[in-house]
Amino acid sequence: MTQWKNFSDERPPLDVQLRLEVKEKDRNTDTPEPYFGKPLFKGYAVFDGRYFYPFGLMHPLPIFWNGRLDAFGREDVTARYAPWEDEE
Query: What confidence tens digit (pLDDT) does each residue in 9-47 have?
Result: 778 889 999 999 999 888 887 888 888 889 988 999 998
Residue 20 covered by a domain:
yes
pLDDT for 44:
92
Phi, psi of 20 (to 5 degrees): -135, 130
What pTM does this model have?
A: 0.76
Q: 31 lies in a domain?
A: yes
- Assigned domain for 58 exists: yes
Q: Give a yes or no: residue 60 inside a domain.
A: yes
Domain for residue 33, yes or no? yes
Number of domains in the chain: 1
Which residues fall within 8 angstroms of residue 73, CB to CB, at 6 or more apart?
62
Q: 32-87, pLDDT tens digit by residue?
A: 888 888 998 899 999 888 888 988 888 888 877 666 677 877 878 888 899 887 55
Domain range holding 23?
Answer: 5-83
Is residue 88 a part of any domain in this protein?
Answer: no
Q: Is a pLDDT exceeding 50 seen at residue 88?
A: no
Helix, strand, coil percentages (3-state) for the chain, rounded to 5, are: 0, 45, 55
